[in-house]
A and B are shown apart, each in its own frame.
Chain A
Amino acid sequence: MPSLRELQQSIQAYVLARGPGAQTEVLASPSVSAETRLEIYANAYRVRLQEALAGDFPALWAMVGAERFAHLAAAYTDAYPSGHFSIRYFGQHLHAFLASSEDFRNEPWVSELAAFEWRLGEAFDAAHAPPLTAESLAQIAPAAWANIRLALHPSVRRLDLGWNVTEIWQAADRHETPGTPLPYPHPLAWLIWRQELKTFFRSLERKEAWALDAVLNGTRFSELCEGLCRWLPEHEVAQRAAGFLRRWINDRLVTAIDAGPG
């Protein structure tokens, strides 16, 4: 008799890829063969993971259609079997998988839509953090500004998109006729975040995207201003940086200001 572990390995090999050995470990019932009994589990495995992906990528499902989605879900399930205890994280590699998939080589928007939907999901259940108000800025001493670092809301996600996938997503979200995927003339920067329980996204002009990425990387305010000099004359930089900051405060993106020298 196989050990418990050997038995589980053999059943799992069947479920994942109809591997050999499991049939002899399973009894037939009066009406169902051992193979059919194993097939129940093998089929359920694929259906369950496909349903999880369809739930996490509803716009992608709507755009590619049920049949093509089932095909891509099966290929993804083989390429990236779930390892996390929660099925919540199963789809985390889908956009990378689609980006390298031969089947979608001529449709780069498919991978971008997956990336966008996944990040929306991440923002949806990210940690809560109370946002700072404009009054908090007023309390910073003028001399301290150079050294401050900002902490942004845990839901903040950034991505650059070459296609109009946010419009496609919106049409799908409203159950409207799917839009036509169109490339932008240049990649566009996007910000996703959550205010209280509601998720938002908006595009960013290049300077704001650079500044926000710098903040996410822990850059001090002085370095942020220096960096903006590549686009702006020096006398405009501080005002523009302060303008970004006001907007981020209004968007409730900023959750802490670290004024320490470190």
Chain B
Amino acid sequence: MFPISEKRFPALGFGLGLRKEHYEAVLAGQPALGWFEIVSENYMVAGGKPLDYLERIRADYPLVMHGVSLSIGGTDPLDVGYLKQLKTLADRIEPAWISDHLCWTGVKPVNLHDLMPLPYTAEALHHVAGRVRQVQEYLGRRILLENVSSYLDYRASEMPEWEFLRALAEESDCLLLLDINNVYVSACNHAFDPYTYIEHLPLTRVQQFHLAGHRDYGAYRIDTHDEPIIDPVWDLYGRAITLFGKVSTMIERDDNIPPFEDLLAELAQAERIATQTLPPHDSSEFVKKSTALGI
């Protein structure tokens, strides 16, 4: 369906999740960032401030669209109304790429508005792969699917998550958004080795990295996006950069939102790790897309 020589879109360097609290800071300061990621659903509205800010920021930065409602693992038919609005937004802002999560979000008539984990079975694999192909056909491009943080696993699962993800990417010809924090959170919750996870993912399919903070509740961890990134996640990111190379990297922060400068400083840490890890040529080419992050 798509050319197979280079599956990935060109890398964008270092970016941040665009949040309304930072609209003014972004427009006024024009920070030297490679790109922003938006939550697609926040802009699936008819007009007003959200779309106005979005278009002004789009004039200066590449954007990528990150959705939470595709329910690619759901067992109801794909929501054609949702896909239509997703495409309308994509036509409007021309994102570098479009992503969502490997999850299901509800069984009709209910939407749980959560990223519910799937059982890792052959049945689920073929089911999801077929739906990914449908979505890619409709959007006319490869999509990225993100690994979610999960807090339970199913008796029915027949394979580890990384094996499912790898098989899914191959069978559906999609790309992956590797959330480093989610790997770490799920590794803690399910007692697997996060390094084994990332080492088993297909090298040519990882398009983007997410970094974020989470909460440790002792017996389990929750992906809250309301804290700075912790050191073990930074270490895992270093390994991911070694394995996958110059993959576009961004930080998600959704609660307890700090001043924009604090996120820039946190992102500079990612850039430092990439600079120290990548070969000099790759590093300079990758980092120059988002220079002057304050380091």
Which listed residue, A9, A29, A36, A83, touches B111 by the CB 8 Å rule? A83
Decide if A81 is an interface residue (CB 8 Å cutoff).
yes
**Residues of chain B from 68 to 96 with CB closer than 8 A to chain A in the complex:** 69, 73-75, 79, 81-82
Which residue of A has the minimal Cβ distance to B79? A85
Tell whether A32 pairs with B220 under 8 Å between CB atoms, given A12-B107, A85-B41, A154-B47: yes
Which residue of A has the minimal Cβ distance to B220? A32
Tell whether A124 pairs with B152 under 8 Å between CB atoms, given A30-B191, A48-B113: no
Q: How far is the CB of B47 from chain A (nearest CB, A)?
A: 4
Which residue of A has the minimal Cβ distance to B118? A4
Decide if B167 is an interface residue (CB 8 Å cutoff).
no
**Residues of chain A from 119 to 168 with CB closer than 8 A to chain B in the complex:** 124-128, 154-155
Which listed residue, A31, A82, A83, touches B220 by the CB 8 Å rule? A31
Contact partners of B75 in chain A: CB under 8 A: 4-5, 8
Determine whether the beta carbon of A34 is less than 8 Å from that of B152. yes
Contact partners of A27 in chain B: CB under 8 A: 152-155
* Complex interface bits, A31-53 against B, C-beta within 8 A gives 1, otherwise 0: 11010111011001100110010
Determine whether the beta carbon of A124 is less than 8 Å from that of B48. yes
Decide if A229 is an interface residue (CB 8 Å cutoff).
no
Decide if B242 is an interface residue (CB 8 Å cutoff).
no
Determine whether the beta carbon of A25 is less than 8 Å from that of B46. no
Contact partners of B107 in chain A: CB under 8 A: 5, 8-9, 12
**Residues of chain B from 115 to 158 with CB closer than 8 A to chain A in the complex:** 116, 118-119, 121, 123-124, 127, 151-156
Contact partners of A180 in chain B: CB under 8 A: none
Determine whether the beta carbon of A126 is less than 8 Å from that of B112. no
Q: How far is the CB of A124 from chain B (nearest CB, A)?
A: 5
Determine whether the beta carbon of A8 is less than 8 Å from that of B116. yes
Tally chain A residues at the interface, Cβ within 8 Å: 49
Among B49, B52, B81, B118: residue with most chain A CB under 10 A: B49
Tell whether A25 pairs with B113 under 8 Å between CB atoms, given A9-B107, A194-B48, A197-B49: no
Determine whether the beta carbon of A26 is less than 8 Å from that of B154. yes
Which residue of B has the minimal Cβ distance to A194? B48
Q: How far is the CB of B154 from chain A (nearest CB, A)?
A: 6
Tell whether A25 pairs with B110 under 8 Å between CB atoms, given A4-B124, A85-B79: no
- CA A41 to CA B110, docked complex, whole Å: 15
- CA A37 to CA B69, docked complex, whole Å: 23
Decide if B280 is an interface residue (CB 8 Å cutoff).
no
Which residue of B has the minimal Cβ distance to A196? B52
Determine whether the beta carbon of A125 is less than 8 Å from that of B49. yes
Which listed residue, B116, B123, B155, touches A24 by the CB 8 Å rule? B155
Contact partners of A49 in chain B: CB under 8 A: 113
Determine whether the beta carbon of B110 is less than 8 Å from that of A83. yes
- CA A52 to CA B219, docked complex, whole Å: 28
Which residue of A has the minimal Cβ distance to B86? A85
Determine whether the beta carbon of B116 is less than 8 Å from that of A81. no
Decide if A84 is an interface residue (CB 8 Å cutoff).
yes
Decide if B290 is an interface residue (CB 8 Å cutoff).
no
Contact partners of B49 in chain A: CB under 8 A: 124-125, 197
Decide if B292 is an interface residue (CB 8 Å cutoff).
no
Determine whether the beta carbon of A12 is less than 8 Å from that of B110. yes
- CA A158 to CA B135, docked complex, whole Å: 39
- CA A2 to CA B157, docked complex, whole Å: 12
Decide if B275 is an interface residue (CB 8 Å cutoff).
no
- CA A124 to CA B75, docked complex, whole Å: 34
Contact partners of A189 in chain B: CB under 8 A: none
Among A4, A16, A31, A52: residue with most chain B CB under 10 A: A4
**Residues of chain A from 189 to 227 with CB closer than 8 A to chain B in the complex:** 194, 197
Determine whether the beta carbon of B111 is less than 8 Å from that of A126. no
- CA A188 to CA B232, docked complex, whole Å: 60
- CA A125 to CA B44, docked complex, whole Å: 10
Decide if B114 is an interface residue (CB 8 Å cutoff).
yes
- CA A125 to CA B46, docked complex, whole Å: 6
Decide if A247 is an interface residue (CB 8 Å cutoff).
no
Determine whether the beta carbon of B47 is less than 8 Å from that of A48. no
Decide if A88 is an interface residue (CB 8 Å cutoff).
yes
Decide if A106 is an interface residue (CB 8 Å cutoff).
no
Determine whether the beta carbon of B46 is less than 8 Å from that of A41. no
Determine whether the beta carbon of A37 is less than 8 Å from that of B46. no
Determine whether the beta carbon of A81 is less than 8 Å from that of B109. yes
Contact partners of B114 in chain A: CB under 8 A: 15, 41, 44-45, 48
Pick 11 A–B contacts, CB within 8 A, sort by A: A4-B121, A7-B156, A12-B112, A16-B112, A29-B191, A30-B191, A31-B220, A44-B114, A83-B110, A83-B111, A84-B111
Q: Given A27-B153, A48-B113, A125-B46, list of 11 further CB < 8 A pairs? A: A5-B75, A8-B74, A16-B112, A25-B156, A29-B153, A32-B189, A37-B152, A37-B220, A45-B114, A87-B41, A128-B47
